Amino acid sequence: METRSMKRRARSLVTAAAAAAGVAAGGGVLAQDITVTSYGGIWETAIKECYASEFEKRTGYKANVLIGSPAQWMSQVEANPENPPVHVLVSTEPNTIAAGDGGLIEKPTEADIKHLADVPQIFKDAVDGYGACFDYGAFIIAYNKNTVKNPPKTIKEFVDRTLAGEWVATLPSISYAISTTVMIWGFADTYGGGVDDIQPAIDVVNRMKDSGNLISWSSVTDFLNQMSTGEADIGMYWDGRAWAFIDKGNDWMEVVVPEDKAVMTCVAMNKVKNAPDSVWEYLNIVYEPGPMSCFSNHLQYGVTNRNVIYSDKMKSRITPWEETRHAPPREVGRKSADWIERWNKEVGF
């Protein structure tokens, strides 16, 4: 029978062999060291503390964290697919599907990532079976408690009271990366349209814009700046980022999860083709309940392993995915270019 000490010795021999291979290849990096990706800010902190450090502890290999965006990372992989400089791709739903269709990432099974068995099917379907999302956010309503005494309970009430001039509202402009999902599809779906009919979204945003009570934000920091300076009183934003902002001492902000359901989007992680096999261990850590809980506590977003136990604080803040709406990602991705062109011509917002 193989003992634990024998397993540890086998691991040491494998590590030593990998090191020798790396040195022989002319590099000072272990052959199974990996480069993983992350958005900046609190994302980078969470990736390093919850995932990269745990990977290094368990395997002895290093997980170098590269900051950037999915489009940038995908371009780097496309430029050198046989020896990709990026080994783990963090990406939105449409970009994950595009990367999969383009042959840039692996399509894992539960044999590759065992914890995928504990992820609800909606998060696998969200990326067309190219793995699964590991975290998600809901596009809720955030407001200034000092200027909005009676916040709206629904998205339709938010729209109606913006039109009535009760406040200055802010929404993402079309330049924001996923406005096609959270704004165009979101408003279309709320008002009876959908992927085949975005006219309701065009109509409702034009009405708010023409009322003079609507401004726009193009980045997540823009929204917080507008709210902090009083330029806006209320707007639609991400639940996790809003709670993180409140925790930084901005207790004048509050959050409403609309009763007519917030739009939910999610983010996936995938092994890039021709990346080292040690990536599978990294991804198993990513989808494991403990590290996922760590990630959620940092970002205040929901995570997707159904066995995650949230802290008492997080339980009251996470928007259950079952109570959200989810756009069909492949259809949205296919129509996005046409939607953006039409939006620029008819709305210009």
Contact 86, 73 (CB under 8 A): yes
In the block, residue with structure tokens 């399509």: 107
Indicate the Cα dihedral angle 140, 146, 150, 151, nearest 10°: -10
CATH of the domain at 130: 3.40.190.10
The DSSP element (H or E) to which 63 belongs, if any, is strand 63-67
| pLDDT of 179 over the 90 cut | yes
| Distance between CA atoms of residues 87 and 277, nearest Å | 10
Residues 235 and 331 in one domain: yes
| pLDDT of 289 over the 90 cut | yes
Residues 71 and 48 in one domain: yes
Residues 161 and 242 in one domain: yes
Residues 247 and 160 in one domain: yes
Residues 195 and 288 in one domain: no
| Distance between CA atoms of residues 198 and 53, nearest Å | 45
Residues 45 and 84 in one domain: yes
Residues 199 and 281 in one domain: no
Count of domains observed in the chain: 2
Structure tokens of 145? 């408690």
Residues 94 and 172 in one domain: no
| Distance between CA atoms of residues 83 and 249, nearest Å | 46
| pLDDT of 142 over the 90 cut | yes
Q: Which residues pair with 267 in a beta bridge?
A: 92, 135
Residues 187 and 333 in one domain: yes
Query: Whole-prediction pTM value?
Result: 0.87
Beta carbons within 8 Å of 75's beta carbon, 6+ residues apart: none
Residues 217 and 120 in one domain: no
| Distance between CA atoms of residues 142 and 236, nearest Å | 6
Whole domain around residue 341: which residue ranges?
136-264+326-346
Structure tokens of 112? 């590759």
Average pLDDT over residues 199-220: 97
| Distance between CA atoms of residues 335 and 154, nearest Å | 27
What is residue 22's predicted lDDT score, i.e. its pLDDT? 40
Residues 175 and 206 in one domain: yes
Residues 202 and 332 in one domain: yes
Contact 299, 90 (CB under 8 A): no
Concatenate the DSSP letters of all residues of 332-346 into one string: HHHHHHHHHHHHHHH
The one-letter amino acid at 323: E
Pairing of strands 133-144, 302-303: antiparallel
Confidence of residue 4 (pLDDT cuts 50, 70, 90): very low
What is residue 41's predicted lDDT score, i.e. its pLDDT? 87
